[in-house]
Structure formats: structure tokens, C-alpha cells
């Protein structure tokens, strides 16, 4: 691997896992454990969360999350995204990858970690009708919103830039209800149709709103504090995320679909990043090693993943 590729690989892995080799302690823990976890080889969750499209899905999910004023208030009041944007990102990825690829005990621990953080996130915000409301991050409405936009972002991005999903979209949405249940989401959608219906219900209810806080967050997501050498590729990924968002939500976000071929260029960037990351030891490889040790996988595989 040449010097440029090695530096870029280190920066990407550091951004998404907090470790230059992509093997932080929590990835090492995925090899441990006494069961197969909630998902496994051949699952829809492994297919979606192990793909390169997750790079775009994360951006799309962050953008969509800002549209609920309660969720935006929690981010504005409590998040350290301005001071440490990559730290917040790696923390979210730790939960995503942990629930997807670990054994059940680690998945529960990671979800409990998220819930403990939610317990102290409280405050007030002005809703779309100008009424001041109290919030806390464990509120069922906010949990539902974050879960729905997260699931929609990863499913939508994979549909554009990923491969086939075992069992299709319904199986992915149905499997990922487990992640929602682990953090207290009431009635998470179990099919793609339910996912679309719940997302539309938020929009139709007049709950969502765009204001100065949303504009500030969008500006930051567009230009986060990342290494200069990564910025051109990130701008393309950001453009791809915007292009993938339905028009009605882009309008609320104050964003326009890029005039340039964002979908095609994003596909090229994802292919480039995939070639740079290579077939290194990753969370999915660690999970396969655990399954092989437990006699649940005859031969350990080596499939690329971002975790």
C-alpha cells in the first residue's frame, strides 16, 4: 500500500472507530462472547451495516434527525459535536456495530450505555406551533423519530449503493426492531411499509420544523472538522446523502439536490474507499471468528466491514 493510501486508510478508520487500525477495544470484544448474537451470517442487518453505503447513511441520518425540534434541542444542548464531531460519530458507530455483530450480552451493554446517556439529556424546546415543551432523550416520541430516520437512512442508502439484502427490505426493517427495543423504542416498524407510514406520520402531523438551529447543524454536517485530505471525498458523500433524501425533506432542510451527478460520484468514492480499506481485520471478521470458536460457523470468513 502506497503512502497516500496508508494515510487515508488510517484517517478513515480513526474517524469511524476512534482507532487508526480499526481495532478499538470494543471491536476486539466482538470476538468474545458465548452466543451468535441477535443477528448473524446471512442476516439482513449484517448485509446492510457491513456495506460501504453506511458512510452515506450516517450523513443522511444526521441530517434527517435535525428536523424534529425535540431531537435537535437535545443535540444542540447536550452534544459535543462541535468540539469533537468524530468522537460523537465513533460513539454512535460503536453502538451500531456492537448491536449488529456482537453477542447478545455486548449488544445489551452497548444499548444500556446509550440509555444511560439519554437519562441526563433533558431540557425544553419550542415546537412547530410555537409552544414550549419539555423533552428528555428517552421520550418515546424522540426515540421513535431517531429510530425511524436511522432505519430509513441505512435502508435507503443501501438500496442505492449496496447489494442485495437477504430477505429484502422487510427483513432488514424487521430485524432492526431488536435494536429499537433494546433502547426503549415503542412499536418500532416491522416492515418497509410500516417504516414509510411512521415517517410520513411525523411529517403529516406538523411535528417537523426548520429553524436557525437546523440551519446551523446542516452547515456543520456539510463542513465538519475533518482532515483536509478527506474533504473532497466527504463533500461528494454529503452530496450523495442529500440527493438520496426525498424532496419534501430536502426542502425542510433548506437543501437542493446537487446539480452534478452525486449518485454516480458517490458510488465511485465508495468504491475507492473500499479499495483503500481492503480486506483488513474488522468487526465482521471478529464476529465470524467468535462463531467459528463456538462451532456455529464451519470456516471463518473475512468480509470487509467498516467496524
Q: Domain for residue 298, yes or no?
A: no
Q: Domain for residue 256, yes or no?
A: yes
Domain ranges, residue 30: 3-293
Catalogue the long-range contacts made by 133-141 (C-beta closer than 8 Å, 24 or more residues apart).
133/70, 135/70, 135/73, 135/74, 137/74, 137/78, 138/184, 139/70, 140/184, 140/185, 140/186, 141/70
Q: Which three cell numbers stand for residue 113?
A: 450505555
Q: What is the mean pLDDT of residues 55-67?
A: 93
Q: Domain for residue 277, yes or no?
A: yes
Q: What are phi and psi of 135, to 5 degrees?
A: -140, 155
Q: How far is it, in rounded angstroms, from Cα 186 to Cα 222?
A: 32
Percent of residues, the chain, with pLDDT higher than 70: 82
Residue carrying the nine cell digits 444499548: 111
Identify the residue with better confidence: 23 or 200.
Answer: 200
Q: Domain for residue 304, yes or no?
A: no
For the stretch 1-20, pLDDT in tens is 455 444 445 555 555 554 55
Alpha carbon of residue 235 to chain centroid: 18
The length of the chain is 307
Q: Which of 101, 129, 87, 125 is nearest to 297 (CA)?
A: 101
For the stretch 179-226, pLDDT in tens is 999 999 999 999 999 999 999 999 999 999 999 989 998 998 998 877
User: Which pLDDT score is estimated for 84?
Assistant: 54
Q: Domain for residue 279, yes or no?
A: yes
For the stretch 107-156, pLDDT in tens is 999 999 887 776 677 888 888 888 888 887 778 999 999 999 999 999 99
Q: Domain for residue 305, yes or no?
A: no
Domain count, the chain: 1
Q: Domain for residue 307, yes or no?
A: no
For the stretch 247-269, pLDDT in tens is 999 999 999 999 999 999 999 99
Amino acid at each position: 500500500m502506497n503512502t497516500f493510501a496508508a494515510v487515508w486508510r488510517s484517517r478513515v478508520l480513526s474517524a469511524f472507530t476512534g482507532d487508526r487500525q480499526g481495532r478499538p477495544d470494543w471491536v476486539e470484544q466482538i470476538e468474545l462472547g458465548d452466543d451468535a448474537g441477535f443477528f448473524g451470517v446471512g442476516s439482513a442487518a449484517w448485509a446492510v451495516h457491513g456495506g460501504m453505503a453506511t458512510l452515506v447513511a450516517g450523513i443522511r441520518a444526521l441530517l434527517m434527525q435535525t428536523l424534529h425540534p425535540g431531537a435537535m434541542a437535545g443535540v444542540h444542548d447536550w452534544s459535543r459535536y462541535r468540539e469533537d464531531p468524530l468522537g460523537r460519530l465513533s460513539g454512535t458507530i460503536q453502538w451500531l456495530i456492537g448491536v449488529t455483530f456482537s453477542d447478545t450480552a455486548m449488544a445489551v451493554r452497548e444499548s444500556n450505555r446509550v440509555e444511560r446517556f439519554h437519562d441526563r439529556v433533558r431540557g425544553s424546546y419550542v415546537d412547530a406551533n410555537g409552544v414550549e415543551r419539555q423533552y428528555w432523550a428517552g421520550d418515546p416520541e424522540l426515540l421513535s423519530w431517531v429510530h425511524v430516520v436511522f432505519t430509513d437512512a441505512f435502508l435507503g442508502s443501501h438500496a442505492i449503493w449496496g447489494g442485495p439484502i437477504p430477505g429484502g427490505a422487510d427483513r432488514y426493517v424487521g430485524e432492526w426492531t431488536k435494536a429499537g427495543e433494546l433502547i426503549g423504542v415503542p412499536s418500532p416498524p416491522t416492515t418497509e411499509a410500516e417504516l414509510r407510514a411512521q415517517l410520513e406520520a411525523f411529517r403529516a402531523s406538523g411535528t417537523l420544523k426548520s429553524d436557525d438551529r437546523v440551519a446551523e447543524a446542516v452547515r456543520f454536517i456539510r463542513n465538519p472538522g475533518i482532515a483536509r485530505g478527506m474533504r473532497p471525498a466527504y463533500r461528494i458523500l454529503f452530496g450523495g446523502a442529500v440527493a438520496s433524501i426525498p424532496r419534501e425533506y430536502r426542502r425542510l432542510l433548506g437543501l437542493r439536490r446537487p446539480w452534478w451527478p452525486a449518485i454516480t460520484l458517490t458510488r465511485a468514492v465508495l468504491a475507492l474507499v473500499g479499495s483503500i480499506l481492503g480486506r483488513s481485520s474488522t468487526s465482521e471478521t471478529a464476529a465470524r471468528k467468535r462463531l467459528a470458536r463456538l462451532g456455529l460457523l464451519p470456516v471463518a470468513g473475512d468480509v470487509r466491514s467498516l467496524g
